[in-house]
Structure 1
Amino acid sequence: MSPREIFALRNYLGAELKGRTLSDAHHSVSLTDVLSQTVRGGRLGELSGRSVLLKLSDQLKSGLAMIELDGIARRMLLCPPDLNPAHLDALIADAEIDAVVTDEPEFWKDSAIPFVVIAQLPLTPAAPAETERATEWLMLTSGTSGVPKIAAHTLEALTGAIRAEAPARGPAPVWATFYDIRRYGGLQIFLRGVLSGGSMVLSDPHEVLADHIARLNARGVSHISGTPSHWRKLLMSGSAAQFAPRYVRLSGEIADQAVLDGLKAAFPDSSIGHAYASTEAGVGFAVNDGLEGFPADYIGVNASGVEMKIVDGSLRIRSERIAHAYIGRDVTKLADDDGFVDTGDMIELRGDRYHFVGRRGGIINIGGLKVHPEEIEAVINRHPDVRMSRAKSRKSPITGGIVVTDVILADGTDPARANEIREQILDQCRAQLASHKVPAVIRFVETLDVTPAGKLARTDA
């Protein structure tokens, strides 16, 4: 399909593709029938040309609403479930919202928004809609305690990496993701499910992990994505033995060698890859060779037209997949004058491969020296008895700051070996890290906090 042609998600839902479903823990909806049914009670036409906030309690209704609205609404703002309600008014103003699609109408009864549409299941019959315009997709950035920024995409940009890939061989994939589809990483998998001619199984934040995996198996999931933290939780749970996807994908955090090796051991017959993407920069690249980092020759322009360069240690990306602007009052420029997005992800060259070392804004201060906690964690995670770790700083009256690490041991590790393992970890760190990066304290813990976006929580003590 020509990039200049206006297209919408409904263009990928034809009656000739049978057996396609979008499902969660409670419902399954036929994607084949969505064109002639609605989640909005027949009020789609009234949303034509409007700027719509999708504020729904679950992913299934959200996904169905996206399909219906794309090509109809002027723009739609995807609202993730963890959004601070105190930020809603500012976001509504910035996005010029004049309609809301919700399944919680009581919340909006005193709102100044002129048009509120209730979404509900089961679907009801509706006349097929015609694509009217290229809808602007608005997504919220993560990683800030203040009002999140709004990044604006076109469907063309959002699906650029998907459409650039060769069609998958064999049966149509059944996709799943640990992400919420109202975040960029999850939305990418939702769009893959729609464009691939296959199906998708949605996650549920309240579902026990073992039950989730059982549901993925029952639905025949073949392709699945998540952050490294998601995957470490799965490996720790013991549920991986009951699961055998064909393709495993990591994104959203640094994929270190320990988690890649752990997944290969758990899923020896699976293809395992990690991708680089962000809400602003779009999908940059994928790595499928089983190694952390990425080959040095990725820098420059790749075959898909994505151009990458490094400035002051930070990865910068320019392509037709990036968001085209931040939306709202007093916003900064999303890209520089040459069209590059500064990702803020710091990388360094080791031999013929670049490695991610951490976020520019996530540096901790140790005695006046700057340290990326991810670099320390990558070394600790290589220990065979470690499943997951978290490095942070703690104030010290002598040095000003020390490294403190919390470590989750791998399943089956004898607790009596804790002191032995602690010394081995310290020896490993001393051999591979500068002295100021070596942990002063190592604590063994049962769990580590993960954000709603599936990333290791990084609020220092």
Structure 2
Amino acid sequence: MSIRSPFPRTQRSPPRSAISCGPTKMSPREIFALRDHLGAELKGRTLSDAHDVVSLTDILSQTVLGGRLRELSGRAVLLKLSDQLRSGLAMIELDGVARRMLLCPPDLNPAYLDALIADAGIDAVVTDEPDRWAETGVPLVVTAQLPLQATAPAQTERATEWLMLTSGTSGVPKIAGHTLEALTGAIVAEGPARGPAPVWATFYDIRRYGGLQIFLRAILSGGSMVLSDPHEALADHVARLNARAVSHISGTPSHWRKLLMSGSAAQFAPAYVRLSGEIADQAVLDGLKAAFPNSSVGHAYASTEAGVGFAVNDGLEGFPADYLGNRNGVEMKVVDGSLRIRSTRTAHAYIGRDAAALTDDDGFVDSGDIVELRGDRYYFVGRRGGIINIGGLKVHPEEIEAVINRHSDVRMSRAKSRKSPITGGIVVADVILADGTDQARAKEIRDQILDQCRAQLASHKVPAVIRFVETLDVTPAGKLARTDA
């Protein structure tokens, strides 16, 4: 039986010469925008959060911008909204009309806004709090609002530049510039989904790179999407995922560990489970496979700057060494232990008055992710910028955590350094035990973890202190919060 492709006729990527991040107008035949993937023939599609459900089938004749889209034509727009639903709807309206749009995650420090507005040349804001912008000097403020209003369908005018903020930095975050073509490169390369249109979900916020990838997959695949809510209890979130028949879902390893610890995984049975954003160690992969035995469990490598690099679907941590070189249009190499990537999916530049170069002279993005070759496979050992100092020696905390997490009674851990008057620094590990672990076995488990670490780690990496804790902090980006004591 032949399966009709869910990709509209405009799915074909435009030639490089057609992409423009400036105000130049181009024929819709030369470019594509998100609205071009929302054909009326694709019925029953929805975008929903914990409060509202919006029909993606009908969205082309509706507006979240109060009918003011024409005023935003050719402008550099900051998207600063309280919720993901209105953000996603505004992205669909603005793409192909605005000159550029800067996606603002909800936890952004307001003190950074002036610098980001200047660096991105922002001359319009889409917000749900218009009064806050009255004295900012931004010339145009447009309010996004629900319920949607009827409007005439918009036409694609230009290739909008998508601006995203990097995470994990101190101070003003960097702005990475993408085209929709680059953002959707991996999705288009995979081809149309087979079988029923998927219902997507992610623990990420869609204004971050990992979440945006899932939002774009939902739009391009002809499917629906269920958005997360940071204020919703995990059990309620899972109940909503079930009620919406979510089939495909992604998150960071920390997101998934929290789900496994909650007991809610027993109520959930997605067909497709993916991890990204942090190192996916063998313990969390095995835990997910045990929790979802009938699911496809894998992990993907991507970053805001490097774009989507690759996916690993063999159930093992790390990635095969033969992924290096040119594979499926993505070229990778390792320089001084750091993974470097060159492809059409990467961001094209950092944006700003004093922006650094995003790539090296050969066009490779230095990811800053350190890998180590063991046999015929590369393993991630940590971030170059996340190294802790132990007695003058450099240590990747993720390497220690991977060993601790292999213990059958451990669900999650975090290693960090603590100052010592004798050695200058020691490793301290905070550990969450799996549900149902007998607390009377705490000393036995601690001794077993230490024996495991001594057998698999250099002596200076072995924790001097192991503390059993109830929770570990996770950042708004879904990553384990790392601070040295």
* TM-score between both structures, scaled by the size of structure 2: 0.94
The SS at the match of 2:92 is helix
Counterpart of 2:160? 135
In the alignment, is residue 375 of structure 1 matched against residue 399 of structure 2?
Answer: yes
2:215 counterpart (178, 190, 200)? 190
In the alignment, is residue 101 of structure 1 matched against residue 126 of structure 2?
Answer: yes
Counterpart of 1:73? 98
RMSD of aligned residue pairs (Cα, Å): 0.5
In structure 2, what is the Cα distance between the partners aligned to 1:299 and 1:3?
Answer: 27
In structure 1, what is the Cα distance between the partners aligned to 2:483 and 2:120?
Answer: 29
In the alignment, is residue 10 of structure 1 matched against residue 35 of structure 2?
Answer: yes
Counterpart of 1:42? 67
1:272 counterpart (297, 305, 328)? 297
In structure 2, what is the Cα distance between the partners aligned to 1:40 and 1:307?
Answer: 40
Counterpart of 2:8? none
Counterpart of 2:57? 32
Counterpart of 2:87? 62
Q: For 1:325-364, what aligned pairs fall within 5 Å after superposition?
A: 325-364=349-388
Shift in Å, 1:452: 0.2
One-letter amino acid of the counterpart of residue 336, structure 2: D
The SS at the match of 1:138 is strand
Shift in Å, 1:3: 3.0
2:268 counterpart (234, 243, 246)? 243
Kindly provide the CA deviation profile for residues 133-166 of structure 1, in whole angstroms up to 9, marking residues without a partner as x. Answer: 0000000001112000000000000000000003
The SS at the match of 1:169 is coil
Q: Percent identity?
A: 87
The SS at the match of 2:204 is coil
In structure 1, what is the Cα distance between the partners aligned to 2:273 and 2:223?
Answer: 16
Q: For 1:286-301, what aligned pairs fall within 5 Å after superposition?
A: 286-301=311-326
In the alignment, is residue 408 of structure 1 matched against residue 432 of structure 2?
Answer: yes
The SS at the match of 2:87 is helix
Counterpart of 1:263? 288
In structure 2, what is the Cα distance between the partners aligned to 1:408 and 1:95?
Answer: 42
The SS at the match of 2:78 is strand
Counterpart of 2:448? 424
In the alignment, is residue 122 of structure 1 matched against residue 122 of structure 2?
Answer: no
Provide structure 2 residue ranges, at least 5 long, that are not aligned to the other structure. Answer: 1-11, 16-29
In structure 2, what is the Cα distance between the partners aligned to 1:140 and 1:460?
Answer: 25
The SS at the match of 1:16 is coil
Counterpart of 2:187? 162
Counterpart of 1:389? 413
The SS at the match of 1:406 is strand
Kindly provide the CA deviation profile for residues 67-94 of structure 1, in whole angstroms up to 9, marking residues without a partner as x. Answer: 0000000000000000000000000000
In structure 2, what is the Cα distance between the partners aligned to 1:154 and 1:277?
Answer: 16
In the alignment, is residue 252 of structure 1 matched against residue 277 of structure 2?
Answer: yes
The SS at the match of 1:60 is helix
In structure 2, what is the Cα distance between the partners aligned to 1:62 and 1:183?
Answer: 12
In the alignment, is residue 174 of structure 1 matched against residue 185 of structure 2?
Answer: no
Counterpart of 2:48? 23
In structure 1, what is the Cα distance between the partners aligned to 2:375 and 2:148?
Answer: 56
One-letter amino acid of the counterpart of residue 328, structure 1: G
In structure 1, what is the Cα distance between the partners aligned to 2:136 and 2:463?
Answer: 51
In structure 2, what is the Cα distance between the partners aligned to 1:95 and 1:166?
Answer: 33
One-letter amino acid of the counterpart of residue 440, structure 1: A
In the alignment, is residue 209 of structure 1 matched against residue 220 of structure 2?
Answer: no
Native 8 Å contact 2:201 2:249 kept in 1: yes
Shift in Å, 1:169: 1.6
**How many equivalent pairs are there?**
460
Shift in Å, 1:329: 1.1
Kindly provide the CA deviation profile for residues 60-117 of structure 1, in whole angstroms up to 9, marking residues without a partner as x. Answer: 0000000000000000000000000000000000000000000011111112001000
In structure 2, what is the Cα distance between the partners aligned to 1:2 and 1:236?
Answer: 42
Kindly provide the CA deviation profile for residues 323-378 of structure 1, in whole angstroms up to 9, marking residues without a partner as x. Answer: 00000111100001100000000000011100000000100111111100000000
Is 234-243 or 108-117 further displaced after alignment? 108-117
Native 8 Å contact 2:226 2:246 kept in 1: yes
* TM-score between both structures, scaled by the size of structure 1: 0.99
In structure 2, what is the Cα distance between the partners aligned to 1:22 and 1:166?
Answer: 22
In structure 1, what is the Cα distance between the partners aligned to 2:378 and 2:295?
Answer: 25
Kindly provide the CA deviation profile for residues 234-262 of structure 1, in whole angstroms up to 9, marking residues without a partner as x. Answer: 00000000000000000000000000000
Counterpart of 2:249? 224
